[in-house]
């Protein structure tokens, strides 16, 4: 897949429409994105928030509010809790962040009694990007949730990246484990973890993908660089997924892609009972639309 817009047709081909619950959907970017997703036949929309505000946003944007189910809850924190409750009651398949602050949104998801996290589950941020100079989509993580993943968490991240890549139609994804070098240097944790993940894949302990690492970014995305370095790797220059060693590496890559390269993306949080969309309140409607599509596909 070479374009994020292709995801829309992939979802339609599956023939099932997911129900999207939006926590505190009081802003025009969120409502416009959900409206587009409904019009494209990707989801049914359930908006939870201040009803009068949401109706005004719809009116100002020329959107018919009758296309949504609207749940009136003016309080921000209660709107987050109500949205999670709807998911738990079986009335929704996907969760999305609206104008609710990230801490309140995550508090609702992580609530021990009434949240969406199973015991022992690991939450991770999964992004799908289309870099301008790369020949296909890239599935990457983690860029936003796990600051310094240990090996157990990297295994979980790898499995989420593989699952997303397969959902996008890649039969056997090529997963690159990023480090600063291709050498296995014992004093660099990123290198040793990458080598372990690669060997686990080779032995069938991580299934469904070809994993190689440690690999530096140049050889991950550029086959010529791999050839110059005489690196023999089935992943180099043709990776479908990149697993970052820490949040700094992932976050810099993510923001360089959007802020300096003008790239497009979608992203979800995996690991909860349903896919959750953790878009920024300042994200464009297009980014939110792609994230909705990815959540529907991942589900």
Query: In whole angstroms, what is the distance from residue 175 CA to residue 180 CA?
Result: 16
Locate the domains of the chain by residue range. Answer: 6-120+272-298, 124-260
Number of H helices, E strands in the chain: 11, 11
Per-residue pLDDT of the chain (299 residues; tens, 9 = 90+): 788 999 999 998 887 899 999 999 999 999 999 999 999 999 999 999 999 999 999 999 999 999 999 999 999 999 999 999 999 999 999 999 999 999 999 999 999 889 999 888 999 999 999 998 899 999 999 999 999 999 999 999 999 999 999 999 999 999 999 999 999 999 999 999 999 999 999 999 999 999 999 999 999 999 999 999 999 999 999 999 999 999 999 999 999 998 888 888 999 999 999 999 998 766 788 889 999 999 999 99
Q: Strand locations in 84-208, DSSP E?
A: 94-97, 124-130, 138-141, 174-178
What CATH fold (topology level) applies to the domain 6-120+272-298? Rossmann fold (3.40.50)
CATH of 124-260, one of 3.40.50.10490, 3.30.450.20, 3.40.718.10, 1.10.510.10: 3.40.718.10
β-partners of residue 266 are 128
User: The whole model's pTM is what?
Assistant: 0.94
**Helix, strand or coil, per DSSP, at residue 289:** helix
């Amino acid at each position: 897949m070479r374009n994020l817009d292709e995801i829309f047709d992939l979802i339609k081909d599956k023939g099932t429409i997911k129900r999207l619950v939006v926590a505190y959907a009081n802003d025009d970017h969120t409502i416009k994105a959900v409206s587009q997703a409904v019009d494209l036949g990707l989801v049914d929309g359930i908006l939870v928030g201040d009803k009068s505000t949401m109706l005004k946003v719809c009116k100002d944007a020329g959107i018919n509010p009758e296309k949504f189910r609207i749940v009136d809850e003016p309080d921000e924190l209660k709107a987050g809790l109500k949205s999670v409750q709807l998911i738990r009651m079986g009335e929704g398949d996907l969760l999305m962040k609206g104008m609710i602050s990230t801490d309140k949104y995550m508090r609702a998801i992580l609530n021990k009694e009434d949240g969406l996290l199973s015991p022992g589950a690991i939450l991770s941020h999964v992004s799908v990007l289309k870099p301008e100079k790369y020949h296909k989509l890239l599935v990457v993580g983690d860029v936003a949730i796990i600051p310094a993943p240990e090996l157990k968490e990297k295994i979980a991240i790898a499995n989420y990246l593989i699952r997303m890549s397969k959902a996008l139609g890649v039969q056997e994804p090529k997963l690159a484990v990023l480090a600063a070098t291709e050498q296995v240097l014992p004093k660099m944790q990123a290198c040793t973890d990458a080598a372990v993940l690669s060997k686990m894949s080779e032995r069938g302990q991580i299934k469904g993908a070809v994993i190689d690492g440690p690999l530096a970014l140049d050889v991950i995305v550029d086959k010529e660089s791999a050839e110059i370095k005489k690196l023999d790797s089935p992943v180099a220059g043709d990776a479908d997924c990149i697993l970052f060693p820490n949040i700094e590496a992932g976050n810099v890559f993510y923001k360089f892609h959007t802020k300096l390269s003008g790239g497009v993306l979608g992203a979800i949080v995996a690991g909860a009972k349903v896919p959750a969309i953790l878009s920024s309140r300042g994200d464009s409607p297009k980014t939110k639309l792609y994230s909705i599509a990815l959540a529907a596909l991942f589900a």
